[in-house]
Chains A and B, each alone.
Chain A
Amino acid sequence: MKKFYLMFALLISLAVLAACSSGDDEANGASGSEGSSGADSITAWAWDPAFNIAALEKAKEAYDGDVEVKIIENAQDDIIQKLNTGLSSGTTKGMPNIVLIEDYRAQSFLQAYPDAFYPLTDVINSDDFADYKIATTSFDGEQYGLPFDSGVAGLYVRTDYLEEAGYTPEDLTNITWDEYIEIGKAVKEATGKNMLTLDPNDLGQIRMMIQTNGSWYVDEDGSTPNLEGNESLAKAFETYKKMMDADIGKIVSDWSQFVGAFNSGDVASVPTGNWITPSIKQAEDQSGKWAVVPMPRLDMEGAVNASNLGGSSWYVLNVDGKEEAADFMLQTFGSNVDLYQTLVKDIGALGTYSAAAEGDAYAVEDEFFGGQQLLADLSTWTDEIPGVNYGLHTYAIEDILVTGMQDYLNGTELTKVLENVQAQAEAQLK
């Protein structure tokens, strides 16, 4: 009987061990074939099936190399986590060959994992892309990213509300934020609608404002916080408070409330990145009632009516298959004008490849926006966006600024607020 028990115990433990080890093998096998199998196949990670993944699929169709391209969809947060854990553990197993990284985060990846990315300096010609994308996708003299979608921002306006208040879209073209607020007050008086949505937890509004004047949260070096004494930022804070005081903003706290606000016709304008176009168009009954004008600028010397919000670029990881991946990138997003035509036509994805803007697809008149040549306008504005180095700490500083903004709105003096946030940022970002 006891012998039986012993045998039984041994069998169980063997089975457990065997299960463990076979599990390991499988895992290794799978990750091996994903990342480092070399020339046969390459893997690409991106988020958003309607936009980035769709763009990759189109690129795959346009590509005529021998290498098989596997496209894997992950949420952006998951990609960030996987890259961080994978790269910091020093193993390249399971890593993709191509990955999409948001521009605001690009520098932190490039600097935190210096050898993990494959330079594309000799592969693509960085002059072919919109200027403002280059600073954020390159590091230490090397071009790492292949600039992809444009985050060029525009002011989406409801022409019918404006008309009710006695304005035309021309009146909002190339204006300052102060003029915008005055119009907002008039619109609210005439229509009862708020001029825009404001999310106190997301300072995208502030980011767009300061970039019109070529300023950012950090200095040129990309890491020294530039908050105290940053006149553009101070001006943007003042403007933000004026909007709050003028009571022309509908407060929202997340994406769905944001989209809901303009889809249900609660706001007269949406100042944001051009990637909002598909969401604006969701409300089909509002067709013909929208127009897009250039972003208002800060009322300062040197500020321009062009800005950016979001946007991302492709990166090739320094793992087996990097040459193939770089070649895939060059053949598709790096040089293929026809691909960019398909991208704007089929998925509305606006790239930053300058030559592509010459194509016919960009000249299409959009009925939803009253026959405006929206893509052509957006590409023109893309070229005017002041280039800034987003640097390392966009989101860390923004979290600090959000608390600063609360203090400011609650009555703390602005210089004091900026002094505080500067001190906090310096303490936190060592």
Chain B
Amino acid sequence: MNQPSSEKSKLDLPVSLRYKETKREKTGVFFKKKVGWLFVIVSVIAITIFNFYPMVQAFLLSFQSGMGGNLEYTGLDNWQRLFSDPTFIAALTNTSIYLLIQVPLMIVLALIFSVLLNDPKLKFRGFFRIAIFLPCVTSLVAYSVIFKYLFGVDGIINQFLLNFGFISETINFLADPFWAKVVIILAITWRWTGYNMIFYLAALQNVDKSIYEAAKIDGANAFQQFFQITIPMLKPIILFTSITSTIGTLQIFDEIVNITNGGPGNSTISISQYIYNLSFEYTPDFGYASTVSYVIVILVVILSILQFRVAGEKK
């Protein structure tokens, strides 16, 4: 184990020093490694016990089925059941809709906000940055409940639309399959745009101003600067935020449960809520619930690979 890496460290040294290693230095390297392992060993053990072991167990669980504690292996039954389970298909479809509409919308909004707020000539920059970031500090449940009441039949949104004559009678947003989804998407976008914006703002600090100056001298307008400089420079961060947002949206739970509770019908139910329902709402079937959980794992892996392929460095 130690040999190849010490070989490598030797190669890093200038040729003149390569063969002049003292004994003291050798034990030093060895010693440092041991100490290094000591530092990480605790977390390695903890991660193995509390992360990897449950993951393996959950995978085994996904091949079992039965009520509560009476689980037995049923082979691939759970996986076949997925494809004929209308609730699962509804949950998967809804989650995909959230993902396809909400993540791009949020990323684009976050990009626009960050570029606008990065303008050094802008007054009250700090205020606007805080205003847009503030939603991220709110509790998921608290803001969901507020959204629910905003969009209620007697809610302020309906009052507003009525008073200004946009609609003639109130819309029951949360009881309509289409509008309920719109409300969920609006809610998540409101909550998470500022969070992603912070990443872009931070990344923009590292973009060399002289590039923009050069572009201006060459006659590039603001749009060209945005598409030709800002976006390529932020590419790694865009990749990072879209992967984390994808994972976050695939696991969406709090907002759905609190705003619509999956309704009307199953028209807003998400995969995570279905997992919860299978485990705690209905007669518990932890085996099938963990099969559905593994679908999320598989989706995250596939989508992350896809995003790396599309946007990542071609190494």
A binds B: yes
B279: nearest residue on chain A (CB-CB)?
A84
Residues of chain A touching chain B, judged by Cβ–Cβ distance below 8 Å, are 2, 5-6, 9-10, 13, 16-17, 77, 80-81, 84, 87-88, 90, 108-109, 111-114, 116, 200-201, 251, 253-254, 257, 392-393, 395-396, 399-400, 402-403, 405-406, 424, 427-428, 430
Q: Is the CB of A87 within 8 A of B69?
A: yes
What is the chain B residue whose CB lies nearest that of A112?
Answer: B68
- Do residues A200 and B264 form an inter-chain contact, with CB atoms below 8 A? yes
Residue-wise interface mask of B (25-54) relative to A, using a CB-CB cutoff of 8 A (1 in contact, 0 not) = 000000100010011011000000000000
Contacts of A81 in B (CB 8 A): 280
Which one of B68, B84, B86, B174 contacts A88 once the chains associate, using CB atoms below 8 Å? Answer: B68
Q: How far is the CA of A43 from the CA of B70 in the complex (A)?
A: 26
Contacts of B282 in A (CB 8 A): 108, 393, 395-396
**Residue B85 at the chain A interface, CB threshold 8 Å:** yes
Sorted from nearest, which 3 A-B pairs have the closest CB atoms? A112-B68, A108-B283, A403-B265
Residues of B within 8 A of A427 (CB): 81, 84-86
Q: Which residues of chain A are near B279, meaning CB under 8 Å?
A: 84
Q: A5-B35, A113-B69, A406-B265 are in contact. Are A428 and B284 (CB under 8 A)?
A: no
Tell me whether B265 and A88 are in contact (CB under 8 A): no
Looking at A396, A406, A428, the one whose CB has the most chain B CB atoms below 10 A away is A428
What are 16 A-B contacts with C-beta separation under 8 Å? A9-B35, A13-B42, A84-B280, A84-B284, A87-B68, A111-B67, A112-B68, A112-B69, A253-B174, A257-B154, A393-B282, A399-B87, A406-B265, A427-B86, A428-B87, A430-B81
Which label, helix, strand, loop or mixed, suits the secondary structure of the A interface?
helix
B269 to chain A, nearest CB (A): 9
A154 to chain B, nearest CB (A): 27
Beyond the given pairs A13-B39, A399-B266, 17 more chain A to chain B contacts, judged by CB atoms under 8 angstroms and listed by A's residue number, are A6-B35, A9-B39, A111-B68, A113-B69, A116-B69, A201-B175, A253-B172, A393-B282, A396-B281, A399-B87, A399-B277, A400-B87, A402-B264, A402-B266, A406-B264, A406-B265, A427-B86
Residues A88 and B284 in contact, CB atoms below 8 Å apart = yes
Q: Which of A84, A251, A428 contacts B172 (CB 8 A)?
A: A251
Asked whether B286 is an interface residue with its Cβ less than 8 Å from the other chain, the reply is: yes
Complex CA distance for A148 and B31, rounded to whole angstroms: 68
**Size of interface on B: residues with Cβ below 8 Å to A:** 38
Inter-chain contacts of B265 with A (CB < 8 A)? 402-403, 405-406
The answer to the question of B194 belonging to the interface, with a C-beta cut-off of 8 Å to chain A, is: no
Given known contacts A17-B42, A399-B277, A428-B87, is B264 in contact with A84 (CB within 8 Å)? no
Complex CA gap A262/B277 in Å reads: 30
| CB contact list, B164-189 vs A, under 8 A | 172, 174-175, 177
Asked if residues B152 and A253 are in contact (CB atoms below 8 Å), the reply is: yes
Q: Please give, as numbers and ranges, the residues of chain A lying within 8 Å of B215 by CB-CB distance.
A: none
Whether B263 is near chain A, meaning CB under 8 Å from some CB there, is yes
Q: How far is the CA of A230 from the CA of B70 in the complex (A)?
A: 31
Q: Write out the residue numbers on chain A whose beta carbons fall within 8 Å of the beta carbon of B283.
A: 108, 111-112, 392-393, 396
Note all chain B residues with C-beta closer than 8 A to A88: 68-69, 284, 286
Q: Return the chain B residue nearest A2 by Cβ.
A: B31
Interface: B225 (CB within 8 A): no
Q: In the complex, are the beta carbons of B85 and A257 less than 8 A apart?
A: no
- Shortest C-beta distance, B68 to chain A (Å), equals 3
Cβ-defined partner of A201 (8 Å) among B154, B264, B281: B264
In the assembly, what is the distance between CA of A200 and CA of B176, in Å? 11
Chain B residue at minimum C-beta to C-beta distance from A253: B174
Output the nearest chain B residue to A406 by Cβ-Cβ distance: B265
- The CA-CA distance from A70 to B245 in the complex, in Å, is 45
CA gap between A127 and B261 in the complex, in Å: 39
Q: Which residues of A contact B65 (CB under 8 A)?
A: 430
Give chain A nearest CB distance to B84 CB in angstroms.
6
Chain A residues closer than 8 Å to B154, beta-carbon distance:
257
Q: Which residue of chain B is the closest to A9 with respect to CB atoms?
A: B38
Q: Which residues of B have CB within 8 Å of A392? A: 67, 283
Measured between alpha carbons, how far is A393 from B281 in the docked complex, in Å? 10
